[in-house]
């Protein structure tokens, strides 16, 4: 059940300018959250941003009672989070959303995990859960330039069987898109499932690839959210079987075939 | 101090306290059951209900603005039948005071929806949305002309025995005339204000941030305007009970709207940010009244006893 947690900042790590992680003590949240779920975070006493912001839970440590978020500074909300001092209090409405379906995968299965930029945020927890279940994960990370992937150290030790990198400017790994290196790998190896998170253009490129290869996939979709629990109806995504999918409660994890790609706002 | 210190009477509508939640910001109430004891708040206004389920506008539907937000949801809702069959029984079981917010494209639509709810148990009042800025027709049309308002309210009045609330548009050319028209045609209570039409544009791409182009502005940004409008209508129509709406999230906001002449308030956008806000305000108001030895009715309209020194020679 979701609840509004008082959380205390207990750790931070800076990967590159504007790319960081923050860790909060948040009661029993760490033991209740599953990979792919998110929190609506509020920094109290701030008029800007006025609304809470949605952040995927990057990792959780039930023994310590901590949850971690990977963040890229893009505006006033993320900047306020970056400037937060040690032991500051925030409010976390969580856990929200459906989460990835990873628990039905049997030992010996293999999956691909595809992340675009800060879209990789929910993957450390997912990788660790998969690794604990003896599911082999190939991790594919892409960004515009090397600095966008400065957080990749956060993934070493999380249990990926292999890691493949791509940057648009060629400053790290393959020169080009992450979807290109994923496609090459997926042609050689039959993945039991593909988990992906990134910007909508990456999803738009990935959807036809998984369709063509007949792969089962789950995308962690991105939409501006006003509330995070199904009330404001601001975060809807055009649906294939019905007009709109409410991203925060019916998602954010959705199979690509449920999304009406042609009706997405360009 | 007994609980009755915070009870309020708005015409035929008796409420255990003056803290309600505004339509469009509280879903069907059930979404808040983890955060708020629905039986403890004065009432909840449902998402606007229409005759048939309505899909709403294409995204992008919301964007944040300084001290508030714009929305152009477009009245997405499950329809009156699904509400009555699936949501209302659960609201009754939770002890909620439910106010059904209703909209339509035509007068006939409104009357049909209200009539469909007439035989259903568990609705304390009807609230007419005549002021949604985010649909092509309907809504706004009825709120923007006093004669259209009067005609619609008179027809709905005949269709229901329940207390009838009409939610006024701040976008109407003359708010007091709209209020007079609604009240004269049989509204028991007026609620104000709905959102103000606004716009946001992406500075980089020059593209409007909402797909609909414009949207309804809400949140603390609109509070001074809402407060002025409540004050103005209370002054012009002192006998008409009012519910104040607009940027309410603190106890002081509640006290200010009561002072301006509202007998109750509806908490809106703050529900997104702090889902438990309505329950918190009930407790804070209770404590306030107990510690001061006052009742809520004694707090209503207090701002009107002060003169407005508008001629005094100050410049600027």
pLDDT in tens, B187-206: 999 999 999 999 999 999 99
Cis peptide before B193 (omega within 30 of 0): yes
| Distance in angstroms (rounded) separating the CA atoms of residues A72 and A79 | 9
Q: Shortest CB distance from B273 goes to which of A2, A52, A224?
A: A52
**In this structure, how many other beta carbons lie within 10 angstroms of the beta carbon of residue B184?**
15
Chain B partners within 8 Å of A51 (Cβ): 64, 69, 272-273
A35 & A137 share domain:
no
- Domain C-terminal end among A51, A78, A96: A96
Whether residue B53 lies within 8 A of chain A, CB to CB, comes out as no
Transcribe A207-249 into DSSP letters.
Answer: HHHHHHTT--EEEE-----SSSSSSS--SEEEBSSSSEEEHHH
Mean pLDDT of chain B: 94
Give me the domain span that covers residue B107.
3-305
Q: Shortest CB distance from B31 goes to which of A223, A230, A235?
A: A230
- Judge whether B313 lies within some domain: no
Q: How many domains, in total, are found in chain B? A: 1
Q: At how many degrees (to 10) do helices B277-292 and B251-260 cross?
A: 70
Residue entry with tokens 């294939």: A240
What pLDDT shows up at residue A87? 97
- The token pair at A88 is 């500051």
Q: Which residues of A52-63 are buried (b: 16+ CB within 10 A; e: fewer)?
A: bbbbbbbbbeee
What pLDDT shows up at residue B1? 44
pLDDT at B316 over 80: no
A139 & A197 share domain:
yes
What pLDDT shows up at residue B134? 59
A21 & A89 share domain:
yes
| Distance in angstroms (rounded) separating the CA atoms of residues B131 and B133 | 6
| Distance in angstroms (rounded) separating the CA atoms of residues A119 and A14 | 17
Q: What percent of chain B has pLDDT over 90?
A: 90
B64–A51 CB contact, under 8 Å: yes
Alpha carbons within 13 angstroms on the beta-carbon side of residue A242 total 11
Q: What percent of chain A has pLDDT over 90?
A: 91
- Judge whether B222 lies within some domain: yes
pLDDT in tens, A163-176: 999 999 999 999 99
B272–A235 CB contact, under 8 Å: no
pLDDT greater at residue A82 or residue A222? A82
pLDDT at A38 over 70: yes
| Distance in angstroms (rounded) separating the CA atoms of residues B45 and B99 | 5
CB pairs < 8 Å spanning A and B: 88
Segment among A5-14, A217-226, B237-246, B306-315 with least mean pLDDT: B306-315
What pLDDT shows up at residue A253? 98
A7 & A84 share domain:
yes
Find, among B63, B69, B67, the residue nearest to B221 by Cα: B67
- Give the H/E segment covering residue A32: helix A29-32
Chain A partners within 8 Å of B35 (Cβ): 3-4
Q: How many domains, in total, are found in chain A? A: 3
- Judge whether B94 lies within some domain: yes
| Distance in angstroms (rounded) separating the CA atoms of residues B129 and B166 | 7
A234–B27 CB contact, under 8 Å: no
The alpha-carbon radius of gyration of chain B (Å, integer) is: 19
CB < 8 Å from A in window 274-293 of B: 274-276
B67–A50 CB contact, under 8 Å: yes
CB < 8 Å from A in window 12-51 of B: 25-27, 31-32, 34-35
What pLDDT shows up at residue A76? 87
**How far lies A69's CA from each of A3, A122, A133, A154, B173, in Å?**
18, 8, 23, 11, 48
ipTM of the complex: 0.92
Distance of CA B60 to the CA centre of its chain: 24
| Distance in angstroms (rounded) separating the CA atoms of residues B44 and B27 | 9
pLDDT in tens, B66-101: 999 999 999 999 999 999 999 999 999 999 999 999
Whether residue A93 lies within 8 A of chain B, CB to CB, comes out as yes
| Distance in angstroms (rounded) separating the CA atoms of residues B277 and B124 | 22
A76 & A62 share domain:
yes
Residue B191 neighbours by CB under 8 Å, 6+ apart: B127, B165, B166, B167, B168, B242, B243, B244, B245, B266
B272–A223 CB contact, under 8 Å: no
Chain A partners within 8 Å of B220 (Cβ): 47, 50
- Judge whether B315 lies within some domain: no
Chain A partners within 8 Å of B273 (Cβ): 42, 50-52
What pLDDT shows up at residue B135? 62
Chain A partners within 8 Å of B272 (Cβ): 51-52, 226-227, 231-232
Find, among A152, A176, A155, the residue nearest to A166 by Cα: A176
Residue of B nearest to A247 (CA): B59
**How far lies A264's CA from each of A205, A225, A227, in Å?**
13, 16, 21
A30 & A69 share domain:
yes
Give me the domain span that covers residue A117.
100-220
What pLDDT shows up at residue A47? 73
Whether residue B56 lies within 8 A of chain A, CB to CB, comes out as yes
Whether residue A45 lies within 8 A of chain B, CB to CB, comes out as no
B71–A50 CB contact, under 8 Å: no
pLDDT in tens, A179-230: 999 999 999 999 999 999 999 899 999 999 999 999 999 999 989 999 999 9
A51–B35 CB contact, under 8 Å: no
Chain A partners within 8 Å of B36 (Cβ): none
- Domain C-terminal end among A51, A75, A96: A96
Chain B partners within 8 Å of A52 (Cβ): 272-273
B289 is catalytic: no
pLDDT in tens, B124-159: 999 999 976 656 555 567 888 899 999 999 999 999
Alpha helices in chain B (DSSP H): 80-82, 88-93, 107-118, 140-144, 146-159, 175-184, 223-236, 251-260, 270-273, 277-292
- Domain C-terminal end among A81, A96, A111: A96
Residue of B nearest to A232 (CA): B25
Specify the CATH number for the domain of residue B19: 3.20.20.70
A228 & A205 share domain:
no
Whether residue B180 lies within 8 A of chain A, CB to CB, comes out as no
Distance of CA A253 to the CA centre of its chain: 9
What integer is the mean pLDDT of B212-233? 97
Q: Shortest CB distance from A233 goes to which of B64, B73, B275?
A: B73
| Distance in angstroms (rounded) separating the CA atoms of residues B267 and B278 | 7
Q: What percent of chain A has pLDDT over 70?
A: 100
Whether residue A232 lies within 8 A of chain B, CB to CB, comes out as yes
Residue entry with tokens 């929305």: B71
Specify the CATH number for the domain of residue A264: 2.10.240.10
Whether residue A235 lies within 8 A of chain B, CB to CB, comes out as yes
A202 & A226 share domain:
no
- Judge whether B311 lies within some domain: no
The single-letter DSSP state of residue B208 is: B
Residue of B nearest to A264 (CA): B59
Find, among A36, A217, A193, the residue nearest to A129 by Cα: A36
Q: Shortest CB distance from A236 goes to which of B59, B63, B69?
A: B59
Chain A partners within 8 Å of B274 (Cβ): 4, 42
| Distance in angstroms (rounded) separating the CA atoms of residues A28 and B228 | 45
* Cα torsion B247, B248, B249, B254: sign: positive
The single-letter DSSP state of residue B155 is: H
pLDDT in tens, A112-163: 999 999 999 999 999 999 999 999 999 999 999 999 999 998 998 889 999 9
- The token pair at B120 is 């259903």
Residue of B nearest to A42 (CA): B273
Name the percent of chain A in helix, strand, coil, to the closest 5: 25, 35, 40
A150 & A207 share domain:
yes
Residue of A nearest to B53 (CA): A243
Segment among A142-156, B268-282, B300-314 with least mean pLDDT: B300-314
Residue of A nearest to B27 (CA): A231
A206 & A118 share domain:
yes
**Residue B6 in contact with residue B17, Cβ under 8 Å?**
yes
């Amino acid at each position: 059940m979701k609840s509004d947690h008082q959380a205390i900042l207990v750790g931070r790590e800076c990967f590159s300018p504007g790319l960081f992680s923050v860790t909060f003590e948040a009661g029993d949240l760490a033991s209740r959250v599953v990979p792919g779920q998110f929190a609506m975070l509020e920094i109290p006493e701030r008029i800007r941003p006025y609304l809470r912001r949605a952040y995927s839970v990057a990792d959780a440590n039930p023994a310590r009672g901590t949850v971690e978020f990977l963040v890229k500074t893009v505006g006033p909300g993320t900047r306020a989070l970056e400037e937060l001092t040690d032991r500051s209090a925030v409010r976390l409405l969580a856990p929200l959303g459906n989460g990835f379906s990873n628990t039905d995968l049997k030992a010996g299965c293999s999956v691909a995990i595809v992340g675009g930029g800060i879209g990789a945020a929910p993957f450390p927890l997912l990788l660790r859960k998969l690794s604990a279940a003896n599911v082999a994960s190939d991790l594919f990370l892409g960004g515009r330039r090397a600095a966008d992937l400065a957080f990749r150290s956060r993934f070493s030790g999380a249990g990926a069987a292999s890691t493949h990198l791509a940057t648009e400017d060629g400053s790290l790994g393959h020169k080009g898109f992450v979807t290109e290196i994923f496609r090459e790998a997926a042609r050689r190896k039959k993945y039991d499932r593909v988990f992906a998170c990134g910007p909508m253009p990456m999803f738009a490129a990935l959807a036809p690839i998984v369709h063509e290869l007949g792969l089962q996939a789950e995308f962690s979709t991105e939409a501006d959210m006003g509330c995070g629990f199904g009330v404001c109806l601001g975060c809807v995504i055009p649906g294939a079987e019905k007009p709109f999918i409410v991203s925060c409660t019916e998602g954010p994890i959705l199979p690509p075939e449920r999304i009406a790609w042609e009706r997405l706002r360009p | 101090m007994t609980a009755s210190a915070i009870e309020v009477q708005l015409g035929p509508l008796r409420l255990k306290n003056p803290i309600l939640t505004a339509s469009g910001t509280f879903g069907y109430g059930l979404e808040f059951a983890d955060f708020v004891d629905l039986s403890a708040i004065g009432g909840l206004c449902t998402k606007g209900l229409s005759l048939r389920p309505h899909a709403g506008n294409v995204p992008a539907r919301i964007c944040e603005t300084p001290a508030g937000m714009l929305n152009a949801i477009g009245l997405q809702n499950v329809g009156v039948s699904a509400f009555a069959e699936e949501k209302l029984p659960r609201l009754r079981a939770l002890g909620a005071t439910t106010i059904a917010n209703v909209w339509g494209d035509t007068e006939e639509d409104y009357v049909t929806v209200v009539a469909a709810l007439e035989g259903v148990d568990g609705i304390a009042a009807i609230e007419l949305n005549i002021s949604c800025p985010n649909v092509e027709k309907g809504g706004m049309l009825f709120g923007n002309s006093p004669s259209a308002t009067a005609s619609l309210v008179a027809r709905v009045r005949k269709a229901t025995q329940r207390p009838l609330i009409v939610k006024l548009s701040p976008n109407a050319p003359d708010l007091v005339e709209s209020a007079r028209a609604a009240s004269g045609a049989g509204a028991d209570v007026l609620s104000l204000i709905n959102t103000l039409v606004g716009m946001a544009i992406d500075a980089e791409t020059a593209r409007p941030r909402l797909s609909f182009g414009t949207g309804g502005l809400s949140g603390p940004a609109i509070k001074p305007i809402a407060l002025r409008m409540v004050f103005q209508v209370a002054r012009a129509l002192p006998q008409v009970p009012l519910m104040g709406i607009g940027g309410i999230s603190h106890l002081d906001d509640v006290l200010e709207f009561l002072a301006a002449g509202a007998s109750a308030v509806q908490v809106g956008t703050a529900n997104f940010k702090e889902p438990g806000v309505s329950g918190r305000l009930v407790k804070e108001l209770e404590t306030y009244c107990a510690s001061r030895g006052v009742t809520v009715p004694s707090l209503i309209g207090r701002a009107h006893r002060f003169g407005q020194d508008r001629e005094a020679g100050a410049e600027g």
